[in-house]
Amino acid sequence: MNYDTTGPVDGVDRRSVLAAGSAGLSLSLSGCIDSVRSVVNRDGGDQLSLSIATVPSDYDPESLHIARHLESNLQEVGIDAELTFRNPSDFLEMILLEQEYDIYVGRHPGGYDPDFLYEALHSTYASANETGWQNPYNFSDRLVDVDLADQRRRTGEQREESLERLLDTVAELKPFDPICRPTAYRLYRDDDERFTGWDEVGDFATRHGYLGLEPVDDVDRLTALVTDSRPSANINPLSPINREYDTIIDLVYDSLATVVPDDDGESEVEPWLAEKWETETHDDGRTTVTVTLREDCRFHDVDEDDDREEHVTRVTAEDVEFTYWFLNDTAFGRASVSSPAPRYRGLASAVDEIEIEDDYRLRLTVDGNVAVGERVLTVPILPRHVWVDELNDRIDDPADFSTSQGEWGLVTSSSVAPIGSGPYRFESQSRRGHLTLERFDDHFTLREDVGDGDDETHLRGPLVEELRFSVDPGSDTSIGRIVGGGADLTSSRVSSNTVGQARAAADNESDVELVESSPPTFYHVGFNTGTSPTSNELFRRRIARLIDKAWIVDEAFNDHAEPLVTPVTEAWTPERLEWGGTDPVTPFFGTDGELDEDAIEDAHRAFEAIGYRVDDEGRILG
């Protein structure tokens, strides 16, 4: 096996950098780096080196904490680890698009249903070199592929069996190592002078948290604080790098169905833009979903003073069909090679056939069970007329048109008009300032006959005229703004190190409330399985054993998180992969986050067992 490393940080060790540094502080000369490399090569064997990509503390203190822990333990055992910092969108660009990394630490949106792993791990996305959220690990394993496909088609106990096997294999092969799932805490002002309905409102991580809040008298704006400034610059629904969560997109774009989390960390898929659907399972495991759309729903580009029939753009079965085909090929058949979207790929690829019956009825046949068929309905519905125009604008020469999949303007640019049919429509944005949405008065949830039934509590509509997502520097200032009455709620989760502060604010102020929820989002360490040395699963498992998840939960999350062995939600976790004080598959080499001499010795033996050499100074050589 070849352990040669040719990564971007190839062989830069601290001592030689310091030596080069003291020789002359010529930091801003790139020649400096070259001289450092030649110093290293004189020692004989090269020390194994790895880069760990993450974001600075301003953006995500928890990720950096995990990365620092891993960096320090890698250095302890004699691997030259180095952190690489990127801002959140450059970070995702590096991981999802360029896929040039060894190891990264970040957040994954996860999923209530374990089927999200299909998108994350299926080898078809790796072999096609697709960029985006689909398999950024370049992971490829035939058995995993079989189980991923099986769990899609099977139901009941059979599905659970496939899933157990899948989760076992994933825990062993470690394309990524799930670290923990944080509890999400948010603050809101339960101020009767401004809004009523806080008790019934949904999870603030979903669209339902912003619908149904009734403004009092002349209150015309709900201010939600976000610590992520990316939505204030770009809300292209297909952009892979501008968000981890779909909250804002789901307010601007409707989907056929909506995910409604319950209090137990589970969720239901309920009708949204679709009035109803019927499912029929075939013998081959495929499912046909017959969808009935709500009639006369409109897209946001409607001009309210112009109701001439030809100018009204209604959401029809054609837009739905377009959306699914477009997600599978954003070049829409105009280029010689198809160009799948860098988001929603796993769901869109499950759709085999679409038959339109009439304007408001269509049949989708998906390669999967009912659960997959329903999850497929949760992608945002895009207006055909807008996106086809945008596509045509980008074709100079129809005979010679090609796209750079996942990265070209149509799926990344903020210039694509943000027109959906959702409860709020785009009003304005100011970079690093705010994103402001305005109520879409034509939205179906505002119709008199919608949302009254007992089983329709999730169909509450947009009541306040304006919804502003205001960018705030950090959780601590956000708490200050909520207490001071400058904002209504924190849309971003309060960071772990300020949960205590948030709780104190809720205890001391009568009209400030703290709410907690457990979304499926998890923190993880991702490995590039396409490059050496992280291509070796035995190597990845040894790296995973340098991570103390219990210590991380305690130190980086102040205990506001659950350590994980497997990335699925609690309800889907097999007993074998439950957290039992330690990681049952890759237990930490040391204790309490630290590696003592014995632990370092154990780690060295483990690396030697897979062909690495350890030199006299305790460095692992590649």
179-199: b (≥16 Cβ within 10 Å) or e? bbbbbbbbbbbbbeebbbebe
**Binding-site ranges for other proteins (CB under 8 A):** 12, 14, 17-18, 21, 25, 27-28, 30, 56-58, 61, 64-65, 68, 82-87, 90, 98, 431-432, 473-474, 476-477, 480-481, 484, 486, 555
Between residues 353 and 592, which has the closer beta carbon with respect to other proteins? 592
Minimum CB distance to other proteins, residue 142 (Å) = 34
Q: Where are the beta strands (DSSP E) in 332-450?
A: 351-358, 361-366, 424-430, 434-439
Between residues 57 and 338, which has the closer beta carbon with respect to other proteins? 57
Cα-to-chain-centroid distance, residue 237: 13
Task: Identify residue 617 by its one-letter amino acid code.
Answer: E
Between residues 19 and 143, which has the closer beta carbon with respect to other proteins? 19
> How far is the CA of 391 from the CAs of 75, 330, 354, 406, 442, in angstroms?
49, 8, 22, 14, 27
Between residues 85 and 579, which has the closer beta carbon with respect to other proteins? 85
Between residues 68 and 298, which has the closer beta carbon with respect to other proteins? 68
Between residues 12 and 366, which has the closer beta carbon with respect to other proteins? 12
Minimum CB distance to other proteins, residue 563 (Å) = 19
Label residue 14 exposed, middle or buried (CB < 10 Å: 0-12, 13-18, 19+).
exposed
State residue 253 phi and psi, 5-degree precision.
-110, 135
**Neighbour tally for 454: CB within 10 Å:** 5
Minimum CB distance to other proteins, residue 85 (Å) = 5
Minimum CB distance to other proteins, residue 504 (Å) = 14
Task: Identify residue 300 by its one-letter amino acid code.
Answer: H
Between residues 36 and 341, which has the closer beta carbon with respect to other proteins? 36
Minimum CB distance to other proteins, residue 82 (Å) = 5
Q: Where are the beta strands (DSSP E) in 172-220?
A: 176-182, 184-189, 195-196, 214-215
Longest dimension (CA), the chain: 83
Minimum CB distance to other proteins, residue 471 (Å) = 9
> How far is the CA of 449 from the CAs of 19, 26, 179, 446, in angstroms?
75, 72, 46, 9
Minimum CB distance to other proteins, residue 63 (Å) = 11
Please tell me whether the peptide bond between 418 and the residue prior to it is cis, using omega within 30 degrees of 0: no
Between residues 471 and 565, which has the closer beta carbon with respect to other proteins? 471
Residue from 451, 559, 615, 620 nearest 185 by CA: 559
Beta bridge pairs of residue 181: 562
Minimum CB distance to other proteins, residue 102 (Å) = 13
Between residues 68 and 363, which has the closer beta carbon with respect to other proteins? 68
566-598: b (≥16 Cβ within 10 Å) or e? bbbbeebbbeebebeeebebbebbbeebebeee
Minimum CB distance to other proteins, residue 553 (Å) = 15
Minimum CB distance to other proteins, residue 83 (Å) = 6
The set of residues, in sequence order, having a beta carbon less than 8 Å from that of 605 and lying 6+ positions away, is none
Between residues 173 and 225, which has the closer beta carbon with respect to other proteins? 225
